Amino acid sequence: MGQQGLSALLLSTEAEIRYYSGFHTPFWQSPTRPWFLVIPRQGKPIAVIPGIGAACMGITWVEDIRTWPAPQPDDDGVSLLADTLNEVAGPAGAVGTPMGHETHVRMPAADFDRLRTQVGEGRFEDATGIVRAQRMVKSEAEIKKIAHICALASDTFEAFPRFVQMGDTERSAFAKMRIELLKGGADEVPYLVGSSGPGGFSDVIKQPTNRILGAGDMMMLDTGAVFDGYFCDFDRNYAFGHATDEMCRAYDTVFAATEAGIATAAPGATAADLFHAMADVMAASGASEGDVGRLGHGLGMQLTEWPSHTAHDKTVLEPGMVITIEPGMSYGDGFTMLHEENIVIRESGAELLTRRAPDAIPVIRR
Amino acid sequence: MGQQGLSALLLSTEAEIRYYSGFHTPFWQSPTRPWFLVIPRQGKPIAVIPGIGAACMGITWVEDIRTWPAPQPDDDGVSLLADTLNEVAGPAGAVGTPMGHETHVRMPAADFDRLRTQVGEGRFEDATGIVRAQRMVKSEAEIKKIAHICALASDTFEAFPRFVQMGDTERSAFAKMRIELLKGGADEVPYLVGSSGPGGFSDVIKQPTNRILGAGDMMMLDTGAVFDGYFCDFDRNYAFGHATDEMCRAYDTVFAATEAGIATAAPGATAADLFHAMADVMAASGASEGDVGRLGHGLGMQLTEWPSHTAHDKTVLEPGMVITIEPGMSYGDGFTMLHEENIVIRESGAELLTRRAPDAIPVIRR
């Protein structure tokens, strides 16, 4: 904040506020009320929040908790927040708030405009860089939580052929997967997508349907399960009855691309280096790039965080960064093959947090 | 749109885009990519989205799907969106987007500023009212989905004393509740909060802890489970071993307040009428208002929607509105008692979607 000349930092989203305060609640599901954390250049954070959250914020390290009786549409915290910012930053100090890539301001846009007018339009600056730099490098405590959920989801994926079979629908297979993750100790499973289809599938982000799984199908499940507020994010693929040669070739190519990504992941390499390492393997097999737009990303309090493994992301990897290695390619009749592993960057290179996917596509035969 | 003089509507959040397009994916968990739907004053919606979503959007009724290879931080859809808005609204037509209470713009704030500059600052107007009016009144198809998940969660709450007992932790009780909801047919359980404590508790929004449940405790669980993209949102209270007189008195008062709320809920009544009906019952018992800030709200694609049952919300109830009746009060040593039911407004008054809570606090004796 000193380097950027900021007198205060304003945070408004779940991950930002939890990261700096420890405030942990699923209450963010409700879009009704805005929540704010103000970080002075020196001193402890100040919470400016709806009264309903005072008890929950009271168990964090934040001591200065200012509340208003939300919802109060005419002035839903805006004046209280403006007063707090003026108090903390003085009448002219710059206020940083994340306004850049992968961020949003979680309050009504009209209220944010009003806040900027009230505090002084020119005083607001983009502070994405500060938050991004801190959040990208995880502490050992954070890594431990991610490792825990990755191990648990690895167990569940390995057990998948024992609890899902032909005759299950996509919907029942997804429900079973969620139940097994919870039984294993996941706190919640906010993300579970996937697809199935004869010979493969194209859509990798859709909700499960009532489609019945049968011989010749391929299925992919991609899960973001959570332990203590930290995500895993990886997928596994399964063939039903038998695997076609085309499926096997695509699986092998993407498996090899994953190996190349893991081998490249070390301090000093860039996100773009990871992209090229994986893309080169797939290109050598004549694969065409899919529509995913990147071959992996950061991971932590959110399912996806900075950086992005694209040709243009020059973020330099550092020890402590937790990222996914996620090559995907198109094959056959518009099908998509996607693999994913989660790793932490160590001085010596990549340390796997997920248990490596099988080196040949698993076939569920019953 | 015609009445407000809008040439185009711009939508950017999950619920807004799903409501008008049918686009249904958990992929919104990833904050990386923005998604847009543009609705012309006449004609079908146009999707302006990352390439990864093209297949999933392709199964909706939207035909005009424009994609870019996100993530692309330098121009993450802003130019494509600006071009689309100019094409749809013409060079001077007004563009509405929800900027009011309970909304936010889901894209980087700097990009939204850039979009407004590029398209023309003065052309953007708040369109919260349009979206609010349509989404508040549910179709029979929507009501059926909400009724389904309400019935399923009612079953699960009734079974709760059979699968949770003294010796469970908050965490294990929550996990069991989630598992039973999924076994019953819920697609997911994005929201589950609650609390426990000797004689009661104060915090009604926190994550479960490793605290062990024992005799003399009271526990509350509040769940937002989902079926086919629609939420239930209600809670139940349980005493362990025995219920204290103080607990019973508070339970009875809030139960009576719920009855008053349900009796008042009919076409023509306002959200404020509901507030007063419930608040009067609690005030007559000498109860002090809690910190929740309202006594219920709308419900549907989101855990909470407009209106809010507060003294200042004059929204007039109409047939088809689905709302919660959610009185809460403080009692004893800073404890909170919260009840909640979900109803749909019919011509004749309230129709319960949840099965009514027991009229005395249930006691789990083992």
DSSP string, A225-253: EEETTEE--EEEEEEES---HHHHHHHHH
Place of tokens 């709308």: B298
> B182: part of which helix (H) or strand (E)?
helix B170-184
pLDDT single digits (tens) B165-194: 999 999 999 999 999 999 999 999 999 998
A293 touches chain B (CB under 8 A): yes
User: What's the gap in Å between the CA of A312 and the closest CA on chain B?
Assistant: 8
Contact list in A for residue B190 (CB cut-off 8 A) is 26, 29, 188, 190
B193 touches chain A (CB under 8 A): yes
A72 touches chain B (CB under 8 A): yes
Interface of A with B in 155-174 (CB under 8 A): 171, 174
Contacts of B299 (CB under 8 A, 6+ apart): B146, B231, B232, B233, B305, B322, B323, B324, B342
Name the residue among B90, B66, B94 with its Cα closest to residue B80. Answer: B66
Question: From the candidates A12, A182, A235, which should be mutated to test the interface with B, based on the most B CB atoms within 10 A?
Answer: A182
Do the beta carbons of residue B65 and residue B57 sit within 8 Å? yes
Question: Given an 8 Å threshold on Cβ–Cβ distance, is B187 in contact with A206?
Answer: no
Question: From the candidates A178, A306, A308, which should be mutated to test the interface with B, based on the most B CB atoms within 10 A?
Answer: A178
Question: Given an 8 Å threshold on Cβ–Cβ distance, is B205 in contact with A53?
Answer: yes
Question: Given an 8 Å threshold on Cβ–Cβ distance, is B293 in contact with A191?
Answer: no
A53 touches chain B (CB under 8 A): yes
Question: Given an 8 Å threshold on Cβ–Cβ distance, is B101 in contact with A76?
Answer: yes
d(CA B132, CA A175): 32
pLDDT single digits (tens) B90-145: 999 999 999 999 999 999 999 999 999 999 989 999 999 999 999 999 999 999 99
Say what the pLDDT of residue B121 is: 86
pTM reported for the whole predicted model: 0.96
Question: Given an 8 Å threshold on Cβ–Cβ distance, is A190 in contact with B52?
Answer: no
B188 touches chain A (CB under 8 A): yes
For residue B117, count other CB atoms closer than 10 A to its CB.
10
A105 touches chain B (CB under 8 A): yes
Tokens of A65: 């908790």
Q: Does residue A71 have a cis bond before it (omega within 30 degrees)?
A: yes
A103 touches chain B (CB under 8 A): yes
Q: So what's the ipTM on this one?
A: 0.96
- Contacts A–B by Cβ distance under 8 A: 229
**DSSP 8-class letter at B32:** S
Say what the pLDDT of residue B292 is: 77
Domains in chain B and their CATH numbers? 6-135 (3.40.350.10), 137-364 (3.90.230.10)
One pLDDT digit (tens) per residue for chain A, 366 residues: 999 999 999 999 999 999 999 999 999 999 999 999 999 999 999 999 999 999 999 999 999 999 999 999 999 999 999 999 999 999 999 999 999 999 999 999 999 999 999 999 899 999 999 999 999 999 999 999 999 999 999 999 999 999 999 999 999 999 999 999 999 999 999 999 989 999 999 888 888 999 999 999 999 999 999 999 999 999 999 999 999 999 999 999 999 999 999 999 999 999 999 999 999 999 999 887 667 789 999 999 999 999 999 999 999 999 999 999 999 999 988 899 999 999 999 999 999 999 999 999 999 999
pLDDT single digits (tens) B188-231: 999 999 899 999 998 888 889 999 999 999 999 999 999 999 99
